[in-house]
Structure 1
Amino acid sequence: MAFVKRQDASIYWNSMGKGEPVVLIMGLGCSSAMWFRIAPQLARNHRVILLDNRGSGQTRTRTALVHRITAMASDVAAVLDAAGESSAHVIGFSMGGMIAQQFAVDNPHRLRTLSLLGTQPGFPWAIQAASPVLRLLLEKAKMSPEDSLRQMRPHTYSRHTADSLFEEDALVRLANTPTPRDYQAQLYGLFYWSVYSQLPNIQVPTLVMHGVDDELIPIENGQLIAARIPGAHLVELENTSHWLMTDANAVCLNTLQQHLKSTTQ
């Protein structure tokens, strides 16, 4: 267990395994514990570095109205410094994919490869979810954590995914629930953020993976990102929604491992 002290925050991070470093960046309202289906397997061949974003898990910040994507990307750089790594393979999911994109354009020299899972390139170019899904996202802070997870389930998990897998995810999320204020501060950080115009500047091998049935961040966003990043490889997962690490764990993990293996020097 370790913390990076920044001017306005104490960023929690840890690592597991040995080898080339891989940084995992989690999504909105979730701690790094939600990488539990991916991190241990990647750690067999890599040093996996995890961190809790501002407003999540064990990271502590001053009270803020907004946790900005740019600040969270800077936190990733600070964690790499603390871990003694000059560069890393970067994998981001959902909001974490937005942080990963920001990190990529801010720190091109620190990026070995990029993997973007179920994410979007920012407003106003991002393809939005349907109004009922957006309304749920905005109202989650007013619901109990249990209610919000169950109401979002039809929009973020495949109908083919077993109840037992959803319940496993729910237990981990409920054990690391952010405060309503921190959830909203992360959500507000997504507003008016974008790196769309800078995506063509990303020059490292990039994997874009997206669930075809994702109702929270529609697949058109993954297609848009892949078209903007030179040479990006797009993988579209059938019968898969937003939580692709759960809906299609074996395929998701194998795709990530192959991407890392093909680019490891």
Structure 2
Amino acid sequence: MHREHLVTAAPGVTLWAEERGDADAPALLLVMGAQAPGLAWPDELVDALAAHHRVIRYDHRDTGRSTWSFDSEPYAITDLADDALAVLDALGVDRAHVVGMSLGGMLAQLLLADHPERVRTATLIGTCALSTTPYTAPDGTVTPVEDLPSIDPRILEMWANRPEDLGPEAELDWRIEHWRLLNGDEIPFDAEAARAQERRILAHTGHARVSTAHGRAEHSGMIRTEALAATDVPTLVVSATAEPVFPPPHPQHLAQAIRGARVVEIPGMGHALPEPVLEPLTKAILAHTGA
């Protein structure tokens, strides 16, 4: 079953949401990264998860078919976590398995810290810990959070020089080069698959405008050191060996910061969801939610 919804998340803010799978199956909420709509979750992954779950994905504010309002009504990143709850509320979901990627992984941490009664399990992909706990390496070396590896400078340069109003085809070209870097250097990059995915997203969105809202939104008030260290929510951290945004040992640090969390490694994976990683990622998520 494939059902679409428009959810009122706040005054003047409507979110597009979609659900697939048996409506009576355990709910699983997919939370995407910054500036990425729900369609950035590949259909192949969504359908594989929907064989076991009522899978819900949605467009953040200022992405896809949701309200684009940041320039007139600025919001904080923490408001995006409230949006995720609004989606669950609107669809009548008391508790859900939550899978978050990148910024979505941070929002998932806010949910398990602030609303643990709503989260059955959490799966965190390509993200960093909302914690000030330092990282202790296997050899005993202690690294402060601020000294953990930073984002690939090639990606930072692309972000810093992001053109505006390129037009649809030039915008597509920019996005493909962006995905080429996010893909990492281990799995061969499939430019045509990435282009087809972005064409679907453009068609879904209805325009090629660029939003930088999530980068400009207020980022303060997100640290949850104590709550993460005390949580009872079963948490899985995906470690991607070719991750260029939050490279290892960020996943290992996450697993130390979140009580009881465990790590699963997906060789070759970067900060993207190309076809070769979908089967191992699906298996890891389903093993976690099934446990």
Under TM normalisation by the shorter chain, which class is it? 0.7 to 0.9
Q: Which residue of 1 aligns with 2:90?
A: 82
1:112-123 mapped onto 2 (5 Å cutoff): 112-122=120-130
Verify the 8 A CA contact 1:121 1:194 in the aligned structure 2: no
Partners of 2:176 and 2:195 within 8 A in 1: no
| 2:228 matched residue in structure 1 | 199
- What is the aligned counterpart of 1:222 among 242, 245, 251? 251
Q: Are 1:42 and 2:49 an aligned pair?
A: yes
2:179 is aligned with 1:153: yes
- Aligned partner of 1:32 in structure 2 is 38
Question: Hey, what's the Cα distance between the residues in 1 that align with 2:155 and 2:44?
Answer: 25
Q: Distance in 2 between matches of 1:173 and 1:13?
A: 14
Q: Among 7, 10, 18, which residue is 1:14 paired with?
A: 18
CA contact (8 A) 2:37 2:60 kept: yes
SS at structure 2 position matched to 1:248: helix
Q: CA deviation at 1:235?
A: 1.4
Unaligned runs of 5+ in 1: none
> Which residue is equivalent to 1:55?
62
Unpaired runs of 5+ residues, structure 2, are 132-144
Cα shift readout 1:204-247 (whole Å, capped 9, x = no counterpart): 11011131111122232222111111111111222221114544
| TM-score (norm: length of structure 1) | 0.87
Aligned residues: 260
Q: Aligned in 2, Cα 1:112/1:245: closer, same or farther, shift over 3 Å?
A: farther
Alpha-carbon offset, residue 170 of structure 1 = 3.3
Structure with the largest fraction of helix: 1
Partner of 1:179 in structure 2?
A: 209
**RMSD (Å) for aligned C-alpha atoms:** 2.4
CA distance, structure 2, for counterparts of residue 147 and residue 16 of structure 1: 31
Q: Counterpart amino acid of 1:46?
A: H
* Cα shift at 1:117: 0.8
Q: Are the equivalent residues in 2 in contact too, given 1:155–1:214 (CA < 8 A)?
A: no
Segment of structure 1 superposing worse, 159-168 or 211-220: 159-168
Q: By how many angstroms is 1:191 displaced? A: 4.1
Residues 201 and 37 of structure 1: is their aligned pair in 2 closer, same or farther, counting only changes over 3 Å? farther
Q: Provide the rounded CA distance (Å) in 2 between the counterparts of 1:137 and 1:66.
A: 21
Distance (Å, rounded) in 2 between the aligned partners of 1:251 and 1:193: 34
Instruction: Pick the aligned partner of 1:133 from 155, 176, 193.
Output: 155
- Contact residue 118 and residue 209 of structure 1 kept, 8 A: yes
Contact 1:117 1:210 in 2 (8 A): yes
- The CA deviation at 1:184 is 1.2
Give the deviation of 1:95 after TM superposition. 1.2
Measured in 2, the distance between the counterparts of 1:139 and 1:223 equals: 31
Q: Is the 8 A contact 1:10 1:61 kept in 2?
A: no
| C-alpha distance after superposition, 1:73-97 (max 9, x if no partner) | 1111111111111111101111111
Q: Deviations over 1:146-192 (max 9, x none)?
A: 23223323421144335243333333344346633xx3111223744
